[in-house]
Each structure stands twice: as structure tokens, then as C-alpha cells.
Amino acid sequence: MKTHTSANSADSLPGGVQLVKVDEDRDGQRIDNFLSGRLKGVPRSLIYRILRTGQVRINGRRAKPDVRLNAGDEVRIPPVRVAEREDAGMPAPGQMNRVEQAIVHEDRDFLVLNKPSGIASHGGSGISFGAIELLRAARPKDTLELVHRLDRDTSGVLVFSRRRSALTALQAVIREGRATKRYMALLQGRLAQARITINEPLRKSILQGGERMVRVDAAGKPSVSHVLRQQQFADAALCEIAIETGRTHQIRVHAAHIGHAVAGDEKYGDRAFNQRMRELGLKRLFLHAMRFEFEIGERSYSFTAPMPEELRSVVNALERQR
């Protein structure tokens, strides 16, 4: 049995396949976020599973998780068993409290976290609850959408929208390259220049076990990072990094490519350097999203997140060794 509904109508999961026509207010939304909104309570891991296995189709074609919808598209959504929807259960109160305590700003349009390292932006790939799921569980009456993403091990500014109009407006700003994202990172070695621009295309691949790997590749997507050295130590440099593009693992891969890997990076970094940083107390990736700035209409926004004490203590240890 098939049902054909509008994207704004009530869900009708039990009973079979849905064919959903995308309304104007969903134009430009990623298919994974669209499905999260339609399939309330379904774990993100299950949403990615039905995408990977080709059960979700857009205008008859298999949908990739990062494809964006156009108004008027027809989305095929397979039936999802109620038992599957309840598998993940509710997050622990401590998890919800942790993200609520990390809120650094909220208004009628946006809610902003200083996301702790170790919390994913969203669930999936074996993670039941990311920041968006935890916030939705903590605030069931709010309509929250994830505007952009941070790697699980990266801390700092993570923006959520509270209204659909705010989501689409900010996503347009990001796509047009009019948002400024600045990070703090501790890089390996001595930088010969105070300012370095890395303009290297990046290509993402998924290994057999599902792990994401990114490499510099001429066939990849354009990617630009600007590195500004703030403090130089004996064998490490504290840097501010601004990115023009937001590719997966961009800063980490760009930094490793020029021979100055991010401290604590187990995937792309240097083992000996990471061991030395561990001896100074570094227990995580030293990458922090410090500032996110943009303009919508005549209004300017600047969201900031102070560097966590766990990173500041490593910098203090390096300063003492000068």
C-alpha cells in the first residue's frame, strides 16, 4: 500500500511506503535532515541505514545522505517498524544535562552550543545520540534543526536553528561563502611563516568498515584554509585557522598535508608528536571551533566559545617549557 502526502502533513508510518512531495519551505534541505523531521523518534543510525541500502528514493533515484532536496521532488520513504523506532530508547538525563549546560546563546531563531569534544553533532554509525538528538530529547517542544556540523572530537561553536526560516537563511549564507568560521588548533612543529593559505582539493571516501577517510586529491572538492600563527613553541604552534569551505576533516587533512598535523589527531597525525602532547596532558584532538560569524539581512551574528580548560592547560604547559 502506498500513501502520497505533502511534506507538511501528519506522518503515516504504519501501513507501507510513503511518497512525499517536498514543499517550498523544504527546498534546499538535506535528505537526512528531511527524513529526521518526518520520522520522529527514529534513530539517526536507522535513517542512514535505509539511505545506504537504497530504500529512500528521490524522483525514482537512490538518494545519498548529503543530497539536497528541491521543492516539488517526490521522496519515497520505506515503512519503518515501530520496534526499530524505539530501539535507541531515551538518552540518559546526564547526557541531556551536559548539552543543556553547554548552551552559550539562544534567541527566537538560533540555539548555540559550545559542543564538548566526544559528542557527535548527530547520531549514526553506531552513535545513538548526537547533540541534535540530545537537545530534542531535552526540549521536546522546540523545533530544532542542525545548521552545520563539527567532527565528534572537535569542540566549540555548533549552531542549531529554532525556526525553518532561520535554517534556510543561514544555510544559504554558508553555501554562498558569507559565513566566517574560525578555529584554534595546536599544530606540529615550527611554522616557517606566520600566515599560510592551504588551497588543496579534498576527496572523501568510505572504507570497507564504514570509516571515513579524506585525502588531498585533484579530483576532490575545492577546499581553502587560512592558518595564522598565534604562538610558536619548541615543537608546536598555536594557530587560528579560518576556513572558506567546510569539508569533512578539512583542517586536519590540510594541516597534515603541509607537515603540521593537528595535535591529538589519531587518524591523520604523527604518533611521536601525539605521545609528547599526551605527556603534557592532552587527551583529545586539539581543535576548537572558536567563532562563527555571519549576517542575515541587516542583522549581524557573532557566536563565540571559549577554549576549554583541558586545552588551555596544555598551552600553559608549553609556555612553561619556553
Which residues carry out catalysis?
151
H-helix segments, the chain: 31-38, 44-52, 82-86, 93-101, 131-138, 164-175, 250-257, 271-279, 309-320
CA–CA separation, 157 and 299 (whole Å) = 19
Assess contact for 13 and 86: CB atoms under 8 A.
no
Contacts of 140 (CB under 8 A, 6+ apart): none
Grid cell at residue 312? 588551555
CA–CA separation, 90 and 88 (whole Å) = 7
CA–CA separation, 182 and 192 (whole Å) = 21
Q: Which helix (H) or strand (E) holds 187?
A: strand 180-188
Q: How far is CA 79 from CA 1, 13, 39, in A?
A: 10, 6, 10
